[in-house]
């Protein structure tokens, strides 16, 4: 009798495991499909594109697509610009948004709700809507007429990193409002006893924050860092607006079809499409490599912080 019972239990367990393996294989396939599509299309030659019997694996694979895409994108120059934007803004976001989020999470003051409502409001506003006025603002940058009076003119920030970095310093960058919100939710969920221990040991507000709260919020930091990095890597609207003569990866990727058809006079889709996907592969490859290298570190960092509470 008992033997039968344990038997049915192991069957049940086996069934559940099988079910989850199948489910995650299915979902995994859906998610990985575009990636396979990108990389297999990128190596196809025009002959493969026209050959209806070639579905995934190219019969006459070619690497020249990558060389062409590399040239069109001006890869090294664009990569440097993109890395500079993504890294600097991400570091600023982590430092500034976490501190501001902590302020909203832990300290009570009368106008807190109102200011926080403004923060949420800035998330809703798509960059396209305030794009034009903000562009003009950075073209003739001035703070309350100070520069005009002292330097005798306004500053033109076109083609510099200032339109990305300056707002981020004050927690006003792309989706910074969302990051502030994420940090606030994490800090609010943490036990208040953690900080009280810090206060009792004689730490000030900032020291308690840096020494106790920041290490406990590692999961929030890795998540926000990841999101901020990827979103700035792929962001195109602001970059196209401010970096007109200074290419970035996402800008060149968006315009790649135009570049190919204009510069080589080729409009043949069997050449344009694989070259475009070679460009896509070149742009996302660094992201994937960074993620795979960083993964171990992220997971470890997250698990070490499990001491909360």
Partner 1 sequence: METTRRRRRKSGLQRRKARAGRLFSYFWLLGFLLFVANPLFQSLMYSFSKVEISRGSVRLNIIGLENFVKAFTADAEFIPMLIDSLTVIVVDVLLVTFFSLFVAVMLNKKFKGRALLRAIFFLPVIITSGALVYVMQSDVSAQFAGASGQQGMPMLQTVDFKSMLLTLTNNNPAVSVLTDAIDRVYQIIWKSGVQILLFIAGLQAISPALYESAEVEGSTGWESFWKITLPMISPIIVINLVYTIIDSFTDYNNELLRYIQEMAFGTTLDYGYSAALAWIFFAIICVILALSVGILSRKVFYMND
Q: Is 297 in the site for partner 1 (CB under 8 A)?
A: no
Cβ at position 55, least distance to partner 1 in Å? 10
Residues 6+ apart with CB under 8 A from 284: 38
Q: Which of positions 244-263 make contact with partner 1 (CB under 8 A)? A: 249-251, 253-254, 256-257
Q: How far apart are CA 33 and CA 35, in angstroms?
A: 5
User: Applying CB under 8 A, does 53 fall inside the site for partner 1?
Assistant: no
Residue closer to partner 1 (CB basis): 3 or 155: 155
Region binding partner 1 by CB under 8 A among candidate stretches 46-54, 60-68, 71-79, 291-299: 291-299
The whole-angstrom distance between residue 126's C-alpha and the CA centroid of its chain comes to: 16
| Least Cβ distance, residue 187 to partner 1 (angstroms) | 9
**Exposed, middle or buried by CB within 10 Å (0-12, 13-18, 19+), for 71?**
exposed
Taking the complex as a whole, how short is the minimal distance between the CB of residue 267 and partner 1, in angstroms? Answer: 13
For 166, counting Cβ atoms within 10 Å of its Cβ (0-12 exposed, 13-18 middle, 19+ buried), the class is middle
Q: Give the HSE-up count for residue 51: Cα atoms under 13 Å, Cβ half-sphere.
A: 15
Establish if 37 lies at the interface with partner 1 (CB under 8 A). Answer: yes
**Residues 13-32 contacting partner 1, CB under 8 A:** 20, 24, 27-28, 30-32
Closest to partner 1 by CB, 71 vs 127, is 127
Nearest-approach distance from CB 51 to partner 1, in angstroms = 16
C-alpha distances (whole Å) from 75 to each of 129, 145, 146 are: 30, 40, 39
């Amino acid at each position: 009798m008992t033997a039968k019972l344990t038997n049915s239990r192991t069957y049940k367990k086996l069934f559940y495991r099988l079910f989850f393996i199948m489910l995650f294989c299915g979902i995994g396939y859906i998610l990985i499909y575009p990636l396979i599509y990108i990389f297999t299309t990128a190596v196809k030659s025009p002959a493969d594109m026209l050959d209806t019997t070639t579905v995934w694996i190219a019969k006459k694979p070619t690497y020249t697509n990558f060389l062409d895409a590399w040239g069109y994108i001006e890869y090294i120059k664009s990569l440097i610009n993109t890395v500079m934007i993504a890294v600097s803004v991400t570091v600023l976001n982590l430092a500034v948004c976490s501190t501001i989020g902590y302020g909203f999470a832990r300290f009570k003051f009368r106008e807190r709700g109102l200011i926080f409502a403004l923060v949420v409001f800035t998330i809703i506003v798509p960059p396209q809507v305030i794009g034009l006025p903000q562009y003009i603002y950075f073209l003739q940058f001035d703070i309350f007429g100070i520069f005009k009076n002292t330097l005798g003119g306004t500053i033109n920030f076109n083609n510099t990193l200032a339109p990305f970095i300056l707002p981020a310093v004050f927690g006003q960058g792309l989706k910074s409002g969302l990051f502030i919100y994420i940090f606030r939710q994490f800090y609010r969920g943490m036990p208040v006893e953690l900080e009280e221990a810090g206060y009792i040991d004689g730490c000030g507000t900032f020291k308690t924050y840096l020494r106790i709260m920041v290490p406990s919020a590692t999961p929030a930091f890795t998540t926000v860092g990841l999101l901020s990095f990827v979103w700035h890597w792929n962001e195109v609207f602001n970059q196209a607006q401010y970096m007109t003569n200074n290419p970035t990866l996402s800008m060149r990727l968006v315009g790649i079809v135009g570049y190919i058809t204009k510069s080589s006079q080729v409009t043949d889709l069997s050449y344009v499409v694989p070259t475009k996907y070679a460009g896509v592969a070149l742009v996302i490859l660094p992201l994937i490599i960074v993620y795979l290298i960083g993964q171990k570190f992220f997971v470890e960092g997250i698990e070490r912080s499990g001491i909360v509470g």
